[in-house]
Amino acid sequence: MLLVFLACLVVSLISLLAVLLVVKLKLLNESKLYYLTSFAAGVMIATTFLDLLPESAQVLESGVYYLAMLGLIAFFIVDRFTVWHSHSHGHHHEVKQNIGQKVLIGDTIHNFLDGVVIAASFLVSIPVGVSVTLAICAHEIPQEMADFGLLIKSGMGVKKAVFLNFISALFAILGGFLGFIGLGERAHEVAILTALAGGMFLYIACVDLIPSLRNEGQPSVRTKIISTTLFIIGLFAIFAFGQLS
């Protein structure tokens, strides 16, 4: 149990390190946030199809894509309810102002599941546990940097974004604890949650992030090229880290 706790703590600290790196490098101006949004969209799409859904398929064997669709629909319903609730109070909120909330929810679920996966790997053996932890740390860096940029883009202050991002990262410890206690009996349920999280990340990428890029005024050709390149890099970053693991 101690190894699982330490591994999950390391993953959480890696998330904090990635966020502090964004602040240190001053990646918070509008143009660079535009680029981070492109990168985040690629990372989230790749994480869905190369990480979350394959993990679910190993356990469920069938029905994974139905569950992913259900996760997407669930986020759509939450999105519609949020818009309706805001209008009922006479306020107008653009879609991008809700991105921060959705990113935190999706990231919290993903961090929790990371903890469960870490627990499962250490239950197999210590070498497998160490290998999986290193792989998760590797893909946390680009993902958390991108997510933090989205929190700032949604209008959140830097200190609040750092705090909430780290709290979200700590859910890996909760996932590791619960996974260590009862993973053998809950593997099916974990796979279901993983598939649902995949649908949620897909919704964020395709409904919030990519449309927000299309609505950012009239970017220059250079900006479009850099943005598209970063989107592709985001896709291949997760693929590359998966291959290395």
pLDDT digits (tens, 9 = 90+) for 117-163: 788 777 766 876 777 787 778 667 767 777 787 787 777 888 888 88
Please choose, from the candidates 97, 58, 86, 80, the residue with its C-alpha nearest in 3D space to the C-alpha of residue 195. 58
Name 28's Cβ contacts closer than 8 Å, sequence gap at least 6.
22, 149, 152, 158
Q: What is the pLDDT of residue 93?
A: 44
Contact 198, 52 (CB under 8 A): yes
Mean pLDDT of 1-17: 89
Q: What is the pLDDT of residue 83?
A: 44
Contact 64, 49 (CB under 8 A): no
Residue 241: both structure tokens together: 């880290």
Contact 146, 230 (CB under 8 A): no
pLDDT digits (tens, 9 = 90+) for 159-192: 888 888 889 999 999 999 988 887 666 667 777 8
Q: Model's pTM, two decimal places?
A: 0.65
Residue 43 has pLDDT above 60, yes or no: yes
* Amino acid at the residue 17: L
Of the two residues 240 and 94, the one the predictor is more confident about is: 240
Tallying the residues shown for the chain, one arrives at 245
Q: What is the pLDDT of residue 94?
A: 47
d(CA 6, CA 32): 34
Residue 243 CB burial class (10 angstroms; 0-12, 13-18, ≥19): exposed
- Rounded to 5°, the CA angle 108-24-211 comes to 50
* Residue that has been written with the tokens 């946390």 in this structure: 140
Q: What is the pLDDT of residue 172?
A: 93
Contact 59, 190 (CB under 8 A): yes
Mean pLDDT of 51-57: 83
pLDDT digits (tens, 9 = 90+) for 198-228: 888 898 888 877 887 776 667 788 888 998 9
d(CA 157, CA 161): 6
Task: Locate the DSSP E strands across 58-210.
Answer: none
Q: Percentage of the chain surpassing pLDDT 70? A: 81
Contact 37, 150 (CB under 8 A): yes
pLDDT band at 244 (very low <50, low <70, confident <90, very high): low
pLDDT digits (tens, 9 = 90+) for 61-112: 788 999 999 989 988 887 676 544 433 344 444 445 567 777 788 788 878 8
Q: What is the pLDDT of residue 117?
A: 76
